[in-house]
Structure 1
Amino acid sequence: MKLLILTQKIDVNDDLLGFFHAWAAEFAKHCAKLTIIALGAGEYDLPENVNVLSLGKESIKNRQSAIGNRQFIKRIKYLIRFYRYIIVERKNYDAVLVHMNAEYIILGGLIWRLLSKKIGLWYVHKRVDWKLRLAAKLADVIFTASPGSFRLASNKLKIIGHGIDLSKFNFAPGIKSGNDFKIIYVGRISAIKNQRLFIEAADILINQKGIKNVRFDLVGEAVYQEDAAYKEALVQKIAKDRLQDQIKFIGSVPHKDIAAIYQAADLSVNLCPTGGMDKAALESMAAGLPVIVLNKTFAFLGDICENSILEEASAAELADKIFVLMNLTPPERTALGRRLKDKVFNDYDLVKLINKIIDGLSR
């Protein structure tokens, strides 16, 4: 197969999108030729059969920095490059896979249909807008991770799980430093990620229950302007609750280094609402790290550990479940970690996922 992939960014050092570098490398194993058009590109190391083409937006995180005419001109330049690439490279691909950004299908769908290119869309998010509705009509096949991560009815839909690079997340229980019980939350600082609930649970455990040997680390950074305002409100709450010594903002960590963050922690918390499957929760499981989630898409966790999934967005419930998992014995913790990793291996392995996508695009 000769495949064209359109994605947001190719950069092994990116904290949010660095995971796609491993996806690209795995796709390359199945393709005679792999062409990637990315909105921006940074550092990458991919096989010789991969050609990366950037639309020119190398700093994805600064997407709100340009305004007015300057922003308009940049968008026109991206658009010109986009059409030039998909036309000039047309003999180098037989099928197209659009990763998350439905607007690429709106822009290129009719051209790809005229060129008889099969069009696939990977989409994992609860949001449904007109762009997604139109892209779904133009696509030949749609891939998603779970029933709740694509919320349009379509006979084109294939629910195929997610893709975690298991070679990166080694099962290593017991690799910890210090005497404090370390709880991490990995993800962009944003209201939708609900880090405030994380801080409220910390307040209950530390200030109300008197538990002092615990540390809460927020791993990630604010990306948008509204995220920055949300982070500032969190900082103020931490100060008001006198939790500066127990709660730390670690900042962004390149995805290639994130496995060490999981392996140095005792518990991972993810408070995204029900919808798309957040990779951070699956990566925690892949590292054998006990996890607590709010997202009901992870309902299967209830069969592995009843304290791994919240009934509602309640700080009191979160604090209670953290307390239970803090008090697991080392053998209990190791056994739980093994069950979590096995679940990811069986259902969310990157190698298996890419095989399913290639199969879906080949039919």
Structure 2
Amino acid sequence: MRILFITYKVDESDSLVGFVVGWLNALAAHASRVEVICLASGPAQLHPNVRVHALGTQPGAGKPAQARAFYRAALSLKVDVVFCQFSPEFVMAVAPLAKLRGWPVALWYTHRHAGLGLRIATLLADRVLTASPESFRLPTPKLRVIGHGINTARFAPSAAPALPGARRLVLAVGRIAPVKNYELLIAAAQRVIAVHADVDFVVAGGAHAPGMAAYLQQLQVLAAASGLAGRFQFIGPQPFAAVPALYHSAAVAVNLCGTGGMDKAVLEGFSCGLPTVVRNATFAALLAEDAPALLAVDGAADDVALLLLDALQLAVPARQALAVRLRSRVVASHGEQALAEKLFASLQELCA
């Protein structure tokens, strides 16, 4: 089967979408060829049967220029099925050509926003794929839930034990955005540091979207005004390859998004065997018996702080057992290989 894979960017160093390279290689293990159309590309070690067509339009180029480049690339390809990752706009762009060529179209979407563009794309697509039932908000018989695709070989527990006497780190990985609730994390950090003076907090993520640089400055001012200068740091976006080492350096991870779709950063932390405190009820089933220790559903600062304190104080045997449970669940339900198999099967079904 020949697959046209449409995505934003193919670049294994990118802090936001570096994981796409792993998806492509995992899918390529099942397909005869994977043709990729993307807006931009960078360094990427790809299987021989993966070919990247970066549109290469100039920065600031308008949509007409992007559309011309897109159709030039798509018209040159011989494929059997189209997979659009992330954006409903990709479905709307390829739909006329797909209809003409008889290509079925699948959309991957995992976001709480369900605007008009998504509604149109859902009508146009033959199949919609998502990570969890909460990750796609529109009712449609086209929907299939196939899990996230976490590279569990890359995101694995550290072989090196923590250094005695080292300061303990609470880590949050995620872009700078109000949905991440970093104000709440700052308030919880105040409470944790009041109890444990040897704990520091680090946020790893970029202020990519419009207005987010100013928002980041507001958060930095808030952290300083809360008495956390030097103890609560925003270190910016990190290369994708560097993220596992960040998890390995942490004692606990935290993600304070409210209930909605599954944030893959949480699954990466779990895959590294790291206790990760969440507020998103979507993780309740995956956490199973560990939910009381790590899940404060839409909790306030006091609730989050209590869970962080308990996680920081876990005895070594309990921590090791928890790490095994968290990782095994991700490998079984959200591993990259498992996702590739389900994705390929779903695309194959469309071609039958």
TM-score with structure 2 setting the length: 0.95
2:101 and 2:230 map into 1 onto residues whose CA distance is: 60
Matched, 1:199 2:162: no
2:209 and 2:43 map into 1 onto residues whose CA distance is: 23
User: SS state of the match for residue 251, structure 1?
Assistant: coil
Instruction: Give 1:174 shift.
Output: 5.9
Number of the residue aligned with 1:10: 10
Instruction: Give 1:74 shift.
Output: 3.1
User: SS state of the match for residue 341, structure 1?
Assistant: helix
Q: Could you give the per-residue CA deviations for residues 92-123 of structure 1, whole angstroms, max 9, x where no partner exists?
A: x1000000111111121122022111111111
Q: Is the 8 A contact 1:176 1:265 kept in 2?
A: no
Q: Which runs of 5+ in 1 are unaligned?
A: 59-65
Number of the residue aligned with 2:47: 47
Matched, 1:78 2:66: yes
1:361 and 1:197 map into 2 onto residues whose CA distance is: 41
2:219 and 2:57 map into 1 onto residues whose CA distance is: 30
% of aligned pairs identical?
34
User: SS state of the match for residue 235, structure 2?
Assistant: strand
2:257 and 2:297 map into 1 onto residues whose CA distance is: 13
1:141 and 1:312 map into 2 onto residues whose CA distance is: 32
Alignment of 1:85-100 (within 5 A): 85-89=73-77, 91=78, 93-100=79-86
Instruction: Give 1:296 shift.
Output: 1.4
Matched, 1:344 2:322: no
CA RMSD for the aligned pairs? 1.5
User: SS state of the match for residue 62, structure 2?
Assistant: helix
C-alpha spacing 1:175/1:55, structure 2 compared with 1 (3 Å): farther
Number of the residue aligned with 1:335: 321
Number of the residue aligned with 1:238: 223
Q: Is the 8 A contact 1:95 1:361 kept in 2?
A: yes
Number of the residue aligned with 2:243: 258
Q: Is the 8 A contact 2:57 2:69 kept in 1?
A: no
Q: 1:141 aligns with which of 115, 127, 130?
A: 127
1:32 and 1:174 map into 2 onto residues whose CA distance is: 40
Q: Is the 8 A contact 1:124 1:149 kept in 2?
A: yes
Q: Is the 8 A contact 1:5 1:37 kept in 2?
A: yes
User: SS state of the match for residue 297, structure 2?
Assistant: coil
TM-score with structure 1 setting the length: 0.92
Number of the residue aligned with 1:164: 150
Q: Could you give the per-residue CA deviations for residues 191-250 of structure 1, whole angstroms, max 9, x where no partner exists?
A: 1111111111011222xx342010101111211232112111111111112211211122
Instruction: Give 1:337 shift.
Output: 0.7
Instruction: Give 1:169 shift.
Output: 1.6
Amino acid at match of 1:106: M
Alignment of 1:270-285 (within 5 A): 270-285=255-270
Q: Is the 8 A contact 2:184 2:301 kept in 1?
A: yes
Q: Could you give the per-residue CA deviations for residues 293-335 of structure 1, whole angstroms, max 9, x where no partner exists?
A: 1111111225224121112241111011111111110111111
